């Protein structure tokens, strides 16, 4: 199991960046992983997990939720407006607020229920046509719209293009966050979380380096 190693590497990256121990939240991305691997990570005391899909997350986590009050579940995949209510009721944080329509839907439901998970605005730093996220030029506007709607936006999130050096993307996200007065930075995955921590990541999303390779779906 890779959890101990990844915990140590996160701690070393915090130290190397002169950042306080524990300033980075390690999100163990459990999507598509077999139950025995997830239970091994739970047994080691880890409680923060990321999932890509609302339905899959509910199926896996509903029973654990009842026994583990300290469990924190993050939605890191795209969110359709017709799943927004379900996602808001289930997750502690949503990292994929990527368009005004979704923001307005979240705000309407938050007004109704009086509750809303922590939110990250997703930025398509590579301007990839197939990828979700606000374009860098539009990110400030989306953050402002979320604030007007009284949504609890705590940071920005990005998924750099697969073949690019991630560093310029991490830097861009950090600059956009600073410009918009946001502290949270959800960036860095199995292959690049140390670089992301050096650039200020507050939340790293690590799947295969903790659990092992995912089965293709
Ligand atoms: C799957 C996924 C991850 C984790 O990827 P690994 O390379 O396995 O660490 C992180 N972020 C998002 C948005 C993902 O979909």
Summarised one tens digit per residue, pLDDT across range 154-203 is 999 999 999 999 999 999 999 999 999 999 999 999 999 999 999 999 99
- Ligand 1 atom closest to Cα of residue 209: 9
Interatomic CA distance for residues 28 and 73, integer angstroms: 10
What are the structural domain ranges in the chain? Answer: 3-211
Instruction: Compute the chain's Rg from CA coordinates.
Output: 17
For residue 214, what pLDDT is reported?
A: 87
- CB of 126 closer than 6 angstroms to any ligand 1 atom: no
Which has the closest alpha carbon to 6: 35, 41, 57, 50? 41
Q: Is the confidence at residue 217, as pLDDT, over 80?
A: no
- CB of 159 closer than 6 angstroms to any ligand 1 atom: yes
Neighbour tally for 144: CB within 10 Å = 12
Q: Which helix (H) or strand (E) holds 18?
A: none
Model pLDDT for residues 48-78, shown as the tens digit of each residue: 999 999 999 999 999 999 999 999 999 999 9
Interval between CA 27 and ligand 1 midpoint (Å): 10
State the pTM of this model.
0.97
- CB of 208 closer than 6 angstroms to any ligand 1 atom: yes
Interatomic CA distance for residues 161 and 44, integer angstroms: 32
Q: Is the confidence at residue 1, as pLDDT, over 60?
A: no
Interval between CA 168 and ligand 1 midpoint (Å): 19
CATH architecture, domain defined by 3-211: Alpha-Beta Barrel (3.20)
């Amino acid at each position: 199991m890779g959890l101990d190693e990844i915990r140590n590497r996160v701690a070393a990256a915090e130290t190397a960046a002169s950042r306080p121990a524990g300033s980075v939240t390690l999100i163990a991305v459990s999507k598509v992983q077999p139950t025995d691997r997830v239970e091994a990570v739970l047994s080691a005391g880890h409680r923060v997990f990321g999932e890509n899909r609302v339905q899959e997350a509910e199926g896996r986590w509903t029973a654990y939720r009842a026994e583990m009050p300290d469990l924190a579940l993050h939605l890191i995949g795209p969110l359709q407006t017709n799943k927004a209510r379900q996602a808001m009721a289930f997750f502690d944080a949503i990292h994929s607020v990527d368009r005004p329509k979704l923001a307005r839907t979240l705000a309407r439901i938050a007004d109704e229920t009086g509750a809303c998970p922590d939110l990250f605005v997703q930025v398509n730093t590579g301007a990839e046509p197939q990828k979700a996220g606000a374009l860098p030029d539009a990110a400030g506007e989306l953050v402002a719209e979320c604030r007007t709607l009284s949504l609890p936006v705590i940071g920005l999130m990005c998924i750099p293009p697969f073949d690019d050096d991630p560093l310029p993307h991490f830097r861009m996200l950090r600059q956009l966050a600073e410009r918009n007065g946001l502290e949270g930075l959800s960036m860095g995955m199995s292959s690049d979380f140390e670089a992301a921590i050096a650039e200020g990541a507050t939340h790293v999303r690590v799947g295969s380096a903790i659990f092992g390779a995912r089965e293709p779906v």
